[in-house]
Structure 1
Amino acid sequence: MRTLVSKINWPILIVACATIGLAPLFPEPHVWEKLRMLVQGNLTRAIDWFDLVMHGTPWVLVVLKIWGTFGRDAE
Structure 2
Amino acid sequence: MELLNNWKLMLLLCLTLGLAPYFPEPHLWGKLKWVGGGATGMAFMDWFDLLLHGTPFLLLLRVVIIKLRTPKQ
Q: Quick check: TM above 0.5?
A: yes
Alignment partner of 1:20 is 2:25:
no
Per-residue deviation, 1:11: 2.3
Q: Which runs of 5+ in 2 are unaligned?
A: none
CA distance in 2, matches of 1:65, 1:10: 6
Aligned length: 68
Give TM-score, length-normalised by structure 2: 0.81
Partner AA of 2:44 in structure 1: A
Q: Is the counterpart of residue 57 in structure 1 residue 52 in structure 2?
A: no
Instruction: Please report how far the alpha carbon of residue 15 of structure 1 lies from its aligned counterpart in structure 2 after TM superposition.
Output: 1.3
Deviation at 1:10, TM superposition (A): 2.1
**If the length of structure 1 is used for normalisation, what is the TM-score?**
0.79
- 1:29 is aligned, of 26, 29, 52, to 26
Identity within the alignment, %: 40
Q: Tell me if the contact between 1:22 and 1:30 (Cα under 8 Å) persists in the aligned partners.
A: yes
- The one-letter code of the counterpart of 1:25 is Y
TM superposition outliers: structure 1 runs of 4+ over 4 Å = none
RMSD: 1.4
Q: CA deviation at 1:46?
A: 1.0
Answer yes or no: is the 8 Å Cα contact 1:30–1:51 preserved in 2.
no
Alignment partners' CA distance in 1, 2:53 and 2:26: 9
